[in-house]
Structure 1
């Protein structure tokens, strides 16, 4: 690549950085580290990074590889993925364990990240931020205090692997294996609701992940924008306008995860989000760009169904997600059926 072309890409990257610095950063504090990293990227990877940053993750983008050894050095104290996520997504990010890699990334699950000198993807839009509990916790919080604060699988110490279902040799004991071994390969079905009315047919999911969206420039999945209804209230139309890129739902080793790709919060309720013996499933708020484990396979056994007055029976193997609007004791909407737009995820129970 001509030097002027490469310099132009670097200028475009620097121009798209987040406006607000982190609490410990003065203006331009990350510039030396960022430019040092840009110099180490190959030409094609620099172009991929520009594409991902300028599209803000709207479409699929390739992995941006950097050697793990580059994470240490005098000019760059931050790991590359943390540096780029601070520049382009979350200026207050501090540690790689606050991040969760998305299933679309080739570094997901350890690919490209094992061994000394191995490469690691640092595309900031191949990462999400783990939803963390608020302090003090309100009646609803962004993650269950009983959940595991997952870090990136490929970056966790051996002790953490042991605690999360990995033996001493690094081999996974997959608690989700039974959930994925269904007869027809369909691990869940999606139902879209507007208040108390289901709109469209059930959508069967066979791939390990699925996009659920109204407006997604590139990609495939469950398009809510194509579902037609005879009458839509103003509240439903307003809520649908906020779905945008929607969410990414993925079946992983430890359970089902939801990544909020939209520009508005989503609200999630699941039997495995609350403590054992709870009177009903809690509601958790997931901010844009954050991920939450919405169903835990290991905790799913022995869950009984609930019934709340006015809300109908609750399937212990289902997840409910409302777009932009919460419900429960802290809201005027007591039940999810009062939410304008919501999704029901019906998990296929293992035989």
Structure 2
């Protein structure tokens, strides 16, 4: 039986020999999961070969092949840009998959566990970095760096605390949600381009459906994750002790609602990237499928809504920041107090994220700064910050 790829040029074999396996070593073995659909090992290897062949063909025409080999073999960032033409939507199609070219080749030759372009930042010397949106885009994997999670400074709290018998009530803005709010005037949904960091943060990368009755509530790591001593009253003249932040086992917990009724178990996210969709596959650590969830009180409207969830929403936790990306054919709506404070909006503002776009919905450093300030204002001020850690989402339509 003849092979689908009967001949592999020597240069392609050499480049495939530098492919990183999931364990981080170079070699022809192992796949680079995460670009588009996941396949078996054999199909994955063939796809990798096609991706390299496609790149080699382009670079031969421009005489840049030697520079690519030099960069990969020496693992040297002091090499020239290796560029290919940027497509209309910024993505590259190899076989049946589409992805961002710099992500594809960085995953191939440097980081097999790379999930998204949010995890990459171009080095200063790169003249054709993807985010510069030039006609040519650099795919030199050593012209990009992995975004590192910033270290949060410790919070200084009084050594002696008072335990309150009853927690103060939180300011409740969830029942006074204003009309759905789009991004500010003058910021239009991009036409499949992925801008660098446009004002209130859209970036497009993908594009399927959902509805108002189908809501999610996502809780990020709360102040209590830091230490009980972070919840202390104002205490002038007392010794202060630093409380350092440590990452919890799960960076967020997701609860699913239909109308006002909670449905199913809470999903705890341990992986940096996860998808919430409407399909009926079994859920796993990177996927929360809503299609299998049952509800005896589900009405016809909710049933119709569930048929349109489709690919839903993808959530990323990268470098201390959380992004929500709409994979649905219809917009998703997000209410994030942390995001709203960043842009000076009302805490209850509901942001519309169009299909194929995304928004930064939480930032650890911003929250840490608020926590450090609130510690000096007492227990109540710190406790009020727990509302900043709850984010609400709705498919297709917002609230109200």
Please give the TM-score of this superposition, normalised by the length of structure 1. Answer: 0.49
Q: Which has the higher contact order (CA 8 A, sep 6+)?
A: 2
Q: Greater CA radius of gyration, 1 or 2?
A: 2
Please give the TM-score of this superposition, normalised by the length of structure 2. Answer: 0.44
